[in-house]
């Protein structure tokens, strides 16, 4: 098992100002970091890759799509723009040495119609992700699609929907990234969902119900850790926590003593249960 820290805890500006944080992450005992790709200029990432290599930290990447990158838009120009946007995110992932690009980018975050996804929207999503997966395969990168809760995304908002989506994409470079925060909202039994997804899962984010320190809230951690063992998962386990430094998460109070304490306590909790 390998352990990672999601850099969104420090906001969405990912640059050399985080180099001291990377050093701390390494010192605490993480094997790698999750790097959010919001800047899709590959040149931006060369210095960051150099620092990761110096520290011996591995890297996987995440991205999202907003209203201007909507893969299931009725506008074909928007769909084409989104595919090209995701290809640029893959180019950045390649610079960083990542083998996975993860996130809920099969549709746009926070964009709703007031209706369930239509069959046409579903097919647009399938077709778009299949093309992106083809490009990812050429770079030896695997997509890790993520479902979000009903308040953030409507194309897939539970495990069953994302399993169906990934199965219909039917591409070796399209897998599932599983996030316990959204599962804690949407699933009746998180462990059963993990077992059903099985080897489709290529990455796991462990996140508490309030996005603070894993093990300090109401998530069914015993059930989750048992399910992870049941499917013989042996890949990346990442800690995802947010703070007021990430306004899009709508967290306006700090729910931990310090980022360092959160990382130390969270990693200790995870390792003691895996």
Note the pLDDT tens digit of each residue in 198-252. Answer: 999 999 999 999 999 999 999 999 999 999 999 999 999 999 999 888 877 888 8
Distance CA 208, CA 214 (A): 5
What value does the mean pLDDT take over residues 19-24? 99
Q: If you average pLDDT over residues 130-146, what whole number do you get?
A: 99
Is pLDDT at 2 greater than 90 in this prediction?
Answer: yes
Q: What is the pLDDT, as a whole number, of residue 44?
A: 98
Does 13 score more than 80 pLDDT?
yes
**For helices 190-197 and 221-230, what crossing angle results, to 10°?**
20
Query: Mean pLDDT of all residues in the chain?
Result: 97
Instruction: Give the closest residue to 89 by CA, choosing from 78, 104, 67.
Output: 104
* Confidence bin at 23 (pLDDT 50/70/90): very high
What is the C-alpha to C-alpha distance for residues 217 and 232, in angstroms, rounded to an integer?
Answer: 26
- CA separation for the pair 138, 143 (Å, rounded): 12
- The reported pLDDT for the residue numbered 210 is 94
Q: Could you tell me which residues come within 8 angstroms of residue 184 by beta carbon, excluding any fewer than 6 positions away?
A: 190, 209, 218, 219, 220
Q: pLDDT value at position 253?
A: 86
pLDDT of residue 166: 99
**For residue 265, what pLDDT is reported?**
98
* Segment 144-201, tens digit of pLDDT: 999 999 999 999 999 999 999 999 999 999 999 999 999 999 999 999 999 999 999 9
Residues 178, 103: Cα–Cα separation, whole Å: 10
pLDDT band at 255 (very low <50, low <70, confident <90, very high): confident
Mean pLDDT for 24-48 is 98
Determine the Cα–Cα distance for residues 68 and 78; give it in Å rounded to an integer: 7
Two tokens, residue 87:
């290809």
Q: How many CA atoms lie within 13 A of 188 on its CB side?
A: 1
pLDDT value of position 38 = 96
> Is a pLDDT exceeding 80 seen at residue 76?
yes
C-alpha to C-alpha distance for 147 and 159, rounded to whole angstroms = 7
Region 126-142: what's the mean pLDDT? 99
Percentage above 70 pLDDT, the chain: 100
Domain segments of the chain as ranges: 2-273
User: What is the model's pLDDT at position 251?
Assistant: 83
Q: Which CATH class is domain 2-273?
A: alpha beta
Tell me what the mean pLDDT of segment 72-89 comes to. Answer: 98
**Nearest-CA neighbor of 136 among 78, 77, 86?**
86
CA distance 97 to 146: 21
């Amino acid at each position: 098992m390998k352990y990672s820290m999601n850099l969104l805890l420090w906001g969405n500006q990912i640059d050399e100002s985080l180099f001291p944080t990377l050093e701390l992450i390494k010192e605490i005992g993480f094997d790698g970091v999750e790097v959010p790709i919001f800047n899709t200029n590959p040149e931006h990432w060369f210095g960051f890759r150099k620092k990761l290599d110096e520290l011996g930290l591995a890297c996987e990447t995440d991205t999202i799509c907003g209203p201007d990158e909507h893969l299931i838009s009725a506008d074909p120009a928007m769909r084409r723009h989104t595919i090209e946007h995701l290809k640029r995110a893959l180019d950045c992932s390649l610079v960083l040495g990542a083998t996975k690009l993860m996130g809920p980018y099969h549709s746009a975050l926070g964009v709703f119609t007031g209706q369930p996804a239509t069959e046409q929207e579903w097919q647009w999503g399938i077709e778009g992700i299949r093309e992106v997966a083809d490009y990812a395969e050429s770079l030896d990168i695997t997509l890790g699609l993520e479902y979000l809760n009903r308040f953030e995304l409507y194309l897939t908002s539970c495990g069953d929907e994302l399993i169906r989506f990934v199965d219909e994409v039917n591409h070796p470079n399209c897998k599932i990234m599983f996030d316990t925060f959204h599962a804690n909202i949407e699933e009746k039994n998180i462990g059963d969902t993990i077992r059903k997804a099985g080897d489709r899962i290529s990455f796991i984010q462990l996140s508490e119900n309030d996005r603070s320190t894993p093990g300090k809230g109401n998530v069914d951690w015993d059930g989750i850790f048992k399910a992870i063992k049941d499917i013989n998962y042996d890949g990346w386990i990442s800690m995802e926590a947010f703070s007021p430094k990430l306004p899009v998460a709508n967290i306006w109070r700090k729910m931990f003593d310090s980022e360092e304490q959160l990382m130390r306590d969270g990693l200790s909790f995870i390792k003691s249960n895996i």
